[in-house]
Amino acid sequence: MKSLLILNGPNLNLLGSRKPEVYGTTTLAEVEEMCRREAGELGLQIVFRQSNHEGQLIDWIQEAGPEVQAGRSIGAVFNPGAFTHTSVALHDAIEAARLPVIELHISNVHHREEFRHQSWISPVARGIIIGLGVHGYPIAIRALHQVSE
Ligand code: DQA
């Protein structure tokens, strides 16, 4: 059975209580459950991870690339949180690892402050899902599965 990585960046551990008017009330544990269900329907296993630390996210991306190249994984769904708008290092890691990534944002970042309109991840993403709330996660899994066939 192939796997996929679901990677969440800083502050997403606070999902459910953080700015519910923007991010909703679903917790990260509930998102994990939604993802597990969706992946199960597609015959995929998920590895679900969250970190507030850029270097940790980079390490996981570097590990994930070879998994894809070995045919054991189809890639990653990645919500980089605020690192989206700041991290050249995450951009470089995705590119170097040749990791197929669906970039995901719960909120519509283009409706929000201007500093959220720039993404360092989009140029190296296979696709982008923005503004569909936590429903974007299962949609992103399905999309990654579809484009990796
Ligand atoms: C986010 C959007 C980012 O701008 C923000 O910093 C986050 C979450 C989203 O999912 O909408 O932490 O990635």
Average pLDDT over residues 59-74: 98
Ligand 1 midpoint to CA 106 (Å): 7
Q: Quick one: pLDDT at residue 149?
A: 76
Average pLDDT over residues 28-34: 98
> What are the residues whose beta carbons fall under 8 Å from the beta carbon of 39, sequence distance 6 or more?
4, 45, 46, 141
Report which residue type is found at 2: K
Average pLDDT over residues 80-107: 98
Nearest CA to ligand 1 atom 7: 81
Ligand 1 midpoint to CA 71 (Å): 30
Cβ-based neighbour number of residue 133 at 10 Å: 13
- List residues with catalytic annotation: 23, 105
- Cβ < 6 Å from ligand 1: which residues? 11, 79, 81-82, 84, 105-107, 109, 116
Ligand 1 midpoint to CA 64 (Å): 22
